[in-house]
Structure 1
């Protein structure tokens, strides 16, 4: 009890840093994780008997049969209240009733004890009369055997029965040897178990300062985390504010940026379209001029005299219809110019809408720098406050007299260890006496069983069925003597063995049923938790002895359960009723200064303009530029036309073919020259026209895609811009204030959570009382039950079993010895007429009067028994 109280005192003084309550503790915020350093204790809280555990379980089953009643909690309570004084006093009927209840509960044990006592008193008495009877040649004392017809069957049955009984006795003796050796082995382990518990309790003392240092060290970890957030306020707080604004702002700026890209693409497309129209006009004009010149040349040839005569006239007539198709297919002056739209878009593009969008992004991205610049002085003050709280925690820890209590408890542990080392040699000495006595008992039973075995061995193998009882061999006779020697030793020592069995049975059975089992199922603790049981004035004994306040609900079962699962001493023993740590470790008071400083954290962000009036006017002008009203179909239709009305190469080939049919002359040469000129015109002028047409087509398609629903798109962008700007104007201030407060709460949360963890660690986790409960388990479950009670119960079970079996063994051995020993007289069977009756009457020639003369007749046809 002094050990428990010393540990309680130690943790109570340490507990001045924690509050009386047990705050709920969740995961630490951010990246902070706290975990008290724990000590690995070496003492096991379970005790396994190993391969002989089934033997112990067998004894437990036997005890449950002998004593099937549940643990008598009410009866034990009354006995404790009576201080175990159950003397039968007629003036106190309650004592008589209580004694009867005890007797009823112990009825199985009492019956076994009564049977044992009967065995103790009757066996020596029976042995005495048996010896006296045999001395008078009674009770089988006469060396004469009555022969019967079933003699062989009876002998074999008796031998087999004795063998089986001896085997069962041998098994019981083996149990005794094992139990005796287990007791010695387990007692020798007691010192190791005690030293192991001592080291665990010593580790318990060294664990407390380490855990306190860890708790104090975690303040620096928490402070460093807060400092890191404060130093990174631009990215932490600024990032949170940006995170609130970006979902509303970024899509709008991206739309405006896309619109700026569309303006630039429209400008490029209009420029390309305007350039293509100009190139088309120039190329078409030049192509038309050259074709007109060639056509005029061909017309002159057709109108000459050379075409008037055959065969030229027919050829000229075939050329005249085709001559009208020789010309350009485009008239550049028919397509309207897009210079007005181009000038409008150029004016819009000069505003550089993309730079305005970048300015909107920059106004959002500059928020962290603005916060960093505005909060520099406040952050310095907050850091100073955090450092002052750190000094308070350190000063508080230095005021705890841990060293003195550790020194006091260390002295107690040293004294206890010294006492154990001084007492264990005496315990081992007494155990050696018990071990020697157990060996003697086991060897006595072994000697008796050995006599029986030798008797059976010599009797069975030395028996000759052809020999008469008076002519049996020496080996057979020795077997009978061994059996009778076993009987004699049984009568001499069995009652002494039974005395030992009864004494160990009463002690071992009651220890198992009244201490070990109820301690295992915690019913014994429930009895001790009965109000006003151990002290008439105290409702709760444990709180009265430990906390000097018997009204505090503290039970043995609750303490055992909490300590078993590793709960801290402060919470287990409810030290908040003695040591109020909230006064010195008040979370609100310690965090109050931090809160005040963080309240000064004020961030002011000016109104953010996503797009100024110039940019907005540019979008509106772009929507009104007129590119959506251009007749793109007309341009596309014109661009789809070929450069010339007829394929010039085909026409040149046709002209050349026709010319080759003419006779040589000026007309033929003129046509061939015109065909050559047409090919030259195609090579020089048709590709530029076709290239201008392709460029015009691409530009028209690009503009058509851009201009489709242009006013609606610009209107949608402007609506999104107005919505985002309204959001900024209305909510920017509240967002900044909310995120600033949240940032402050995060910083405070680090320390509040740290302080709550300190409370939780000290009250729930620091200095687990498990080693104390392990020491108690070692004393009860380990030493008392596993090391002493179990081997003791196995010992009396085995020895008692062997001793009880001596009774049938003695009876059978006495009967069986008659079949093995050499008799002094025997029964002889012969015909009645051949027997001399006078010799039968006077027993002449020195024979016993019961000796029958005559010729032995093994067939026994006419038996006569005398």
Structure 2
């Protein structure tokens, strides 16, 4: 077992390189997946007998009926311990074998009696007894008896033929499958050789996974800025960044407010000038219209009303708003200019930069500890590599390969002998089946000839040649039956006793694992060893290692480490423990003080700038006055409507200077609207929207600034009071994540060792191939089917003999027959002349 221990020692080195640690806070190590390379074996897991399996199951049912007793565990144990006394315990064997013994006794009785019966039957017939006299008595039910005997013999021949078919099928099945033995053996040996040859490669693969795991850990350690620093940053970000964003929004509001005030002040100046020019233009139009209305044409009654209406509306040609009355904004603009003297945006960027530098700070603070961790991981990897080189696993495993090669050579050397003996067996089975077939052929020929050649009108002494030949065939079949049935039954008894016991004691007990349970009996195979298997393999008989457990584990394709319970021999976790080093990695992170200081979100100058903005007076501007003034129309009347009305009224006047003056002034009003009103309306709308937006932004300015400063102070205090705790917490999580890779690797190594590395499925498959497939499937099942079919056919020879002898009387030509007075008319004249006529109701003998 040195190679096995050495092999699992090496596996252990790559398994316990990880210490116990808390699970990582992230699922990063889940991305580190290991897939063990699968091994594909040649030998199939199961054996199917095909359609013949139904016949095998039928024989199994028969054997269970004959031998229903459970596996004799106590008897087998006593025999293996050499404590079985046949003189005292023979009754137990008889009780267990009572079914087989009974059937064998009946067979022996058949073997003994049939030759004797045949001998006496032959002697008796030679003495014209036992139906040997060539005379057939006339019976009223003779036709019925003949048909009954013929049908019965035909049915019996069918049953015998079925038994013969079973024999042929069994012999063919055994012959064809025994030819597969070499292929089956080679397949199993190839699988065992593959198991041994691939084990070193599996070890190398497991070792390589440590390199992959270490590379993943190194990658994360090199990326500590993003993983650890970033996680700290993300923990602080929800409390810090919103406060900075609020200050940044306030700085943007300061700049926008100053720009808006300057723009409004400039627009107001333009509006005042435009409003004065508009007022002057409208005054000129008003004067011109007033002068035109003094025209004598207005004295005409038809035009007087129109002129009066125009004269009464001249007062509407004037501006509606005096923009010179709006309060000035120079003081607020001056205050905002003073506020903007401080670069608040730059101060805020400094705060962002100070906060965003946390990952770089973490990287610089952990540089030394990360270097130490890398050295620790490299040293562990070096130790694993060095230890793997010291154990000559391949050299020790070569002993098993040598043993497999020797066993394979032995099988190849003696397999031709097995095939040669099987050819003799097949020839013997063929002869036996052909002999039975010959008997059935004689019976069938007798039935065929007798049935086809039978003439109901012919008397027994005048039967035809074909009918007589049929009777002779039947008697030949009877003779062959007596001659060979004892030999056939001898073969049946021998194969039945051997095959039945092997099936019940070996095949059935192997399938239900009773055989393993017997072998696992403590102190059974060696009185000094409690468990024979562990004593033989490890020289430690107290280790609970059983044949049943090893076979079951190998059937489930578990690894040899778990199957052979090697932890009782060499505890990998105990002897190869790197937890101390892994614990030092965790302690390194826990003991590393990452001081993140001087994170100033906004200095005093920035805070003062916010307070200055709060006291700048922009929130005290009379926004409603501005909005009321700019929300009105520039003039008291719509100039376009007034001009249109002038045109309409002028059209009602006769041609003249008045009409031309009205139309000219209407056109002038349209021009004023285009040149003065439209630009002025746009300016008024701009001022209105701007002042409305400023009113909304600066409403409650003092409260807003106070809230921004409050949240800023809160974020600054949070940084001051909690950054150390958050840094320590995230450092632990980062360390747990790094160790999580190795914990995950360790769990995978344990699974690989117990279930995947050196999985012993080929061992269980080889055992199944030897016992369940070769012995039971290739040999015992066909043997049992052979004696079952042969025995069935042989037993049915007994009624076949009886019916054949009875039926032959109806087919063979007789030497004499029964004649009655009622039938004298049918007697030929020549017989009457010979004086062979008897009295009424007496038999007349006729000799031919």
| TM-score relative to the length of structure 1 | 0.89
Aligned partner of 2:688 among 692, 697, 711 = 697
Q: Identify the range of structure 1 (132-141 vs 355-364) with the bigger mean alpha-carbon deviation.
A: 355-364
Match of 2:46 in 1: 46
Compared CA separation, residues 495 and 256, structure 1 to 2 (3 A):
same
Instruction: Tell me the distance in 1 between the aligned counterparts of 2:168 and 2:2.
Output: 43
Rounded to whole Å, the distance in 1 between the matches of 2:648 and 2:11 is: 121
Aligned equivalents of 2:20, 2:524: Cα separation in 1? 35
Aligned with residue 130 of structure 2, among 133, 139, 144: 139
Change (3 A) 1:617 1:822: same
Instruction: Give CA deviations for 1:16-50 in whole Å, capped at 9, x if unaligned.
Output: 64789999999992432223333211112311101
Native 8 Å contact 2:10 2:387 kept in 1 = no
Partner of 2:415: 424
TM superposition shift of 1:246: 2.0
Q: What secondary structure does 2:110 align onto?
A: helix
Match of 1:445 in 2: 436
Q: Which residue of 1 aligns with 2:209?
A: 218
- Aligned counterparts of 2:716 and 2:18: Cα–Cα separation in 1: 50
Is 1:776 the equivalent of 2:757?
no
Q: How does 1:162-173 map to 2 (within 5 A)?
A: 162-173=153-164
Q: 2:220: which partner in 1?
A: 229
Distance 2:227 2:199 in 1: 38
Q: How has the CA–CA distance of structure 1 residues 221 and 53 changed in structure 2, closer, same or farther, with 3 Å as cutoff?
A: same
The answer for the alignment partner of 1:633 in structure 2 is 624
Change in 2 beyond 3 A, CA 1:472/1:279: same
Q: Give the structure 1 partner of residue 33 of structure 2.
A: 33
Is residue 2:406 matched to residue 1:415? yes
Question: In the aligned structure 1, how far is the partner of 2:580 from the partner of 2:306?
Answer: 120
User: Are residues 1:499 and 2:490 paired?
Assistant: yes
Q: Could you report, residue by residue, the CA deviation over 1:483-531 in whole angstroms, capped at 9, with x for unpaired residues?
A: 1111111111111111111111111111112221121122222222232
Kept in 1: contact 2:17–2:577 (CA 8 A): no
The answer as to whether partners of 2:196 and 2:397 remain within 8 angstroms in 1 is: yes
**d(CA) in 2 for partners of 1:293, 1:182:** 131
**Within 1, Cα distance between the matches of 2:406 and 2:770?**
18
- Report the equivalent of 2:324: 333
Is it true that 1:280 corresponds to 2:271 in the alignment? Answer: yes
Pick closer, same or farther for the CA change 1:245–1:592 going to 2, 3 Å. closer
Counterpart mapping for 1:772-851 below 5 A:
772-831=763-822
Select the residue among 731, 753, 757 that pairs with 1:762. 753
Greater mean deviation of Cα atoms: 560-569 or 533-542: 533-542
Alignment-derived partner of residue 534 in structure 1: 525
Post-superposition offset of 1:609? 1.9
Contact preservation (8 Å) 2:153, 2:804: yes
Higher mean displacement: 357-366 or 455-464: 357-366
Per the alignment, residue 352 of structure 2 pairs with: 361
Aligned to 2:718: 727
* Greater Cα offset, 711-720 or 666-675: 666-675
Q: Using the TM superposition, name which of 151-160 and 399-408 deviates more.
A: 399-408
Change (3 A) 1:853 1:215: same
1:17 to 1:390, Cα distance in 2 relative to 1, 3 A: closer
Q: 1:344 to 1:105 in 2, by over 3 A?
A: farther
Change (3 A) 1:301 1:216: closer
C-alpha spacing 1:490/1:23, structure 2 compared with 1 (3 Å): farther
CA contact (8 A) 1:38 1:207 kept: no
- The aligned length equals 838
Look up the match of 2:64: 64
1:21, 1:592 → 2: CA distance? 11
- TM-superposed CA distance for 1:253, in Å, is 2.7
Q: CA deviation at 1:675?
A: 5.5
For 2:90 and 2:176, the matched residues in 1 are separated by: 39
Q: Which residue of 1 aligns with 2:503?
A: 512
TM-score normalised to the size of structure 2? 0.90
1:652–1:456: structure 2 CA closer, same or farther, 3 Å change rule?
closer
Structure 2 partner of 1:397:
388
Contact 1:292 1:327 in 2 (8 A): yes
| Residue in structure 1 matching 2:550, options 553, 556, 559 | 559
Conservation of the 8 A alpha-carbon contact between 2:199 and 2:757: yes
User: CA contact under 8 A between 1:22 and 1:763: conserved in structure 2?
Assistant: no
Deviates more, 1:117-126 or 1:740-749: 740-749
Q: 5 Å matches for 1:38-187?
A: 38-83=38-83, 85-88=84-87, 95=88, 98-187=89-178
1:73–1:11 CA distance, 2 compared to 1 (3 A): farther
Q: How far apart are the structure 2 equivalents of 1:333 and 1:533?
A: 123
1:40 to 1:290, Cα distance in 2 relative to 1, 3 A: same
1:741 corresponds in structure 2 to 732
Q: 1:419 to 1:331 in 2, by over 3 A?
A: same
Counterpart of 2:837 in structure 1 is 853
Once the two structures are TM-superposed, the CA of residue 249 in structure 1 deviates from its matched residue by 2.3
Q: 1:786: Cα distance to partner? A: 0.3
Contact 1:458 1:476 in 2 (8 A): yes
Look up the SS of the partner of 1:412 in the other structure: helix
Residue 406 (structure 1) shift: 1.8
Q: Aligned in 2, Cα 1:807/1:605: closer, same or farther, shift over 3 Å?
A: same
Distance (whole Å) between structure 1 residues aligned to residue 17 and residue 211 of structure 2: 25
| Equivalence map 1:257-406=2 (5 Å) | 257-296=248-287, 317-406=308-397
Tell me the CA shift for residue 281 of structure 1: 1.9
Change (3 A) 1:469 1:427: same
Contact 1:21–1:576 (CA under 8 A) maintained in structure 2: no
Question: Taking structure 1 as reference, are residues 651 and 494 closer, same or farther at Cα in structure 2, changes over 3 Å only?
Answer: closer
- Structure 1 residue 430: deviation in Å? 2.2
Contact 1:591–1:752 (CA under 8 A) maintained in structure 2: no
The range that moved more, 583-592 or 115-124, is 583-592
- Deviation for aligned residue 1:653: 5.6
Note if contact 2:282-2:318 (Cα within 8 Å) is conserved in structure 1: yes
Structure 1: distance between partners of 2:736 and 2:687? 65
2:572 partner SS: coil
Deviating more after overlay: 723-732 vs 204-213: 723-732
Structure 1 position 605 matched with structure 2 position 593: no
Measure how far apart 1:451 and its partner are.
Answer: 1.0
User: 1:438: how far off?
Assistant: 1.1
1:141-163 per-residue CA deviation (whole Å, 9 max, x = no partner) reads 11111121111111111111101
State the distance in 1 between where 2:234 and 2:356 align: 11
Q: Deviations over 1:614-654 (max 9, x none)?
A: 33333334344444443433333222322112233444565
| C-alpha contact 1:312 1:662 (8 A) present in aligned 2 | yes
Structure 1, gaps ≥5 residues long = 89-94, 856-861
User: Could you tell me how far apart the structure 1 residues matched to 2:33 and 2:48 are?
Assistant: 38
Q: Kindly indicate whether the alpha-carbon contact (under 8 Å) linking 1:18 and 1:762 is maintained by their aligned counterparts in 2.
A: no
Q: What SS class does the counterpart of residue 186 from structure 2 fall into?
A: helix
What is residue 543 of structure 1 aligned with on the other side? 534
C-alpha deviations, 1:420-451, integer Å up to 9, x for none?
A: 12222222222222222211211111111111
Alpha-carbon distance change, 598 to 397 in structure 1, aligned in 2, over 3 angstroms: farther
Q: Distance in 1 between matches of 2:577 and 2:414?
A: 49
- Secondary structure of 1:452's aligned partner: helix
- What is the aligned-residue RMSD (CA, Å)? 3.5
1:240 aligns with 2:231: yes
Q: Residue in 2 aligned with 1:858?
A: none
Indicate which of 604, 613, 633 corresponds to 1:642: 633
* Distance (whole Å) between structure 2 residues aligned to residue 186 and residue 216 of structure 1: 44
Q: Paired residue for 1:454?
A: 445
Unaligned runs of 5+ in 2: none
CA contact (8 A) 1:459 1:475 kept: yes
- More divergent stretch after superposition (667-676 vs 577-586): 667-676
